[in-house]
């Protein structure tokens, strides 16, 4: 199996595992408050975008998290070589 196919299989397997775990975790009854630490240069952009769009910072943060999860961008942060090493044990 070539590396790109192997990497794709690992990413799909990790995404499926995360989805299964998330689906079997109880939902909170109400929205949960989170605090985000934002780089100063990003904070200025967030303030400006909020003023232009009329969205609150919370709206923007929620949209960013939704986008990150919907597009499974977390898979880019998973160390594939470490997963491969663990699978070889």
Residue 3 clears pLDDT 80, i.e. is over it: no
Average of per-residue pLDDT values in the chain: 88
Q: Tens of pLDDT along 25-58?
A: 998 888 887 787 889 889 899 999 999 999 999 9
Residue 62's alpha-carbon distances to 38, 42, 79, in angstroms, are: 14, 15, 25
Domains of the chain, residue spans: 3-87
Residues 6+ apart with CB under 8 A from 9: 1
Query: What is the model's pTM?
Result: 0.74
Check residue 4 and give its pLDDT: 86
For the segment 62-76, the average pLDDT, to the nearest whole number, is 93
- As a whole number of angstroms, the distance between CA 25 and CA 32 comes to 15
Residue 15, both tokens: 């995404």
What percentage of the chain reaches a pLDDT higher than 90?
A: 44
């Amino acid at each position: 199996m070539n590396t790109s196919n192997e990497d794709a299989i690992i990413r799909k397997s990790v995404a499926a595992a995360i989805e299964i775990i998330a689906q079997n975790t109880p939902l909170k009854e109400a929205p949960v408050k989170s605090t985000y630490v934002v780089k100063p240069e990003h904070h200025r952009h967030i303030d400006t975008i909020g003023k232009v769009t009329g969205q609150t910072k919370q709206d923007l943060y929620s949209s960013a998290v939704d986008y990150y999860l919907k597009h499974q961008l977390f898979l880019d942060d998973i160390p594939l070589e470490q997963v491969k090493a663990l699978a070889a044990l």
